[in-house]
Structure 1
Amino acid sequence: MESNGRGEVIVVGGGIIGLTTAVVLAERGARVRVWTREPVELTTSAVAGGLWWPYRIEPEALVGEWALQSLVVYEELAAWPEETGVRMVEGVQGETRLDELGPWAARVPGLRAARAEEYAGGGLWARLPLIDMSTHLPWLRERFLKAGGTVEERSVTDLWEVPAAVVVNCTGLDSLDLVPDPLMRPVRGQLVIVENPGITTWLTSVNHAADTSTYFLPQPGGLILGGTAEEDAWSMTPDPATAEAIIARCAAIRPEIAGARVLEHRVGLRPTRPSVRLEREVRRDGRVLVHNYGHGGAGITAAWGCAREAAALAGVA
């Protein structure tokens, strides 16, 4: 495919990675179709809490740059929160120190040590993008359609049978069977959404050695409470005991959460891999397959940086 965008690209996958990649391709002049198995509102991305932060994603040396590129975009989109679903919100990454993070952290505006009154357990204070996925995903789809793209609901069983000169694989966990890629594995996340009792800041407290974490994220539709990180767990059914434990952990930090009315339970499977796969394959007949999957718990965080790199690999400069 020529760099001027002639020819057609089909992006397989309609979550945050697929849609963001499709937007970049279309706005660079390519003719793009998105093939998605389900509407964007039903993808794994729709379940995400929505906080920008590199979480459960490797390799850090590359992730930092992808994340920072995405941060700049989200900061711009936050000027129109009701349209884009993106807001800049203050909060604390608990039990985290700057010297534990990669060089990218020094380039996050305002990131600093949290004061005792902000969080007794210590951590980092930041003003970061918090993205309401119920608004952001449909907005991304509309932006893509306005750029001339089309979205089709259809399943794919063989990437090489997709009828396009360039195919971009953004299928996340489905790449386990579709590629096939045995390095893909699910990391199950369960969330509880409650009526917000007046909390305006977010907080995360993550123990990477455990399969549970504690966080709350104020979104327009309620306060999102989390969470879990259960490796190789496939169940999409919310577990009542897990939900109770999530509420209890969050209420231990903010007691007003204990009495909040439960609105919804959610489960999502993070598409986790030892490292993101972002690379290009070329067949003898000249057809190109670009892989962009395996973003773990940070698809939102890395989406724009990865989309730009994927577009370049697709030959769309």
Structure 2
Amino acid sequence: METKIFQSEELDYAAKLLKNGELVAFPTETVYGLGADALLPESVKQVFQVKGRPSDNPLIVHVADFEMTKPFVEKYHPLTEKIVQYFWPGPLTLIFPIKKNSLSPIVTGGLSTAAFRMPDNKKTLELIQKTEAPLVGPSANTSGKPSPTTAEHVFHDLKGKIAGILDDGATQIGVESTVLDLSGETPVILRPGAVTKEKLEKVLQTKIFLDKHLVKESETPKAPGMKYKHYAPDTPVLMVGDEDWDQAIKWGQKNRKRMALLAGPSIAAKYQVADRYVFMDDTVEAATHGLYSGLRALDEADGSDVILAQVFTENELGAAYMNRLKKAAAQNYFDKN
């Protein structure tokens, strides 16, 4: 199969492919998604096959507006209107209880809930409108590997496997959306993202809980990305605390490790290692934006035994960055002891 790169003027053709059951990757402000018509179960099955994704992993349903959720949702949480008004379109996925048989079990992972999002990308919103159906859109990459933040990343992973990729350059945020579970009385964040716990609490004037439970391989996750190991390159990753860099570098040299470095410019300037990916600046925003690109670049360089990665405090956007980095590193920190 030839995988075509689509530009804005080819949206009609991309939508036609989706209507016909083909797969088309699309851009969002977070990462690129692998699109299929959410109402065509056979197309959705192809998403799992192409990604090599476990079929118990539920998919996020991408909509062009809030009205598109109404044929599926059984009951909305009382805070829904305020949340949608303030955060949609944007990097926030909402989980609701759904009407029986309104979505295929292959979309929901067999659960009685489903996840919905309105992405903040004009091209993709227009694509959904032209398709006249919501689109599933897990990250457009090989399952478990770093998510794609450019069309080139998608092409690298899925060329020859999907019909096309709608190109809109690099994504703005760089990690997947926040997932907020609204299926119970209390809102719970299942996956942190750019819409932080602090932002939600400020807008909603209520306590938001963060579920830190890591789903085992035998469990069915309620949202994507909840497994212990995820977003991981083939090269092992070790997280390095701010005070541990000297010892981590000495450890690598002593054990003749070929080290790669994933960090901001202040840390990178201190250490000369073979491969490096330096974030644009020392902020957590720059680190979040560059995390997946960095993991991919260092892994593809194929010259390292280990990737040493910078950590950040787990609050605000740092919670999202660390959530992805911990899973990429399989929870492993450099142990100075």
Band of TM-score, shorter chain: under 0.3
What is the TM-score normalised by the length of structure 2? Answer: 0.26
What is the TM-score normalised by the length of structure 1? Answer: 0.27
- Greater RCO, CA 8 A, separation 6+: 1
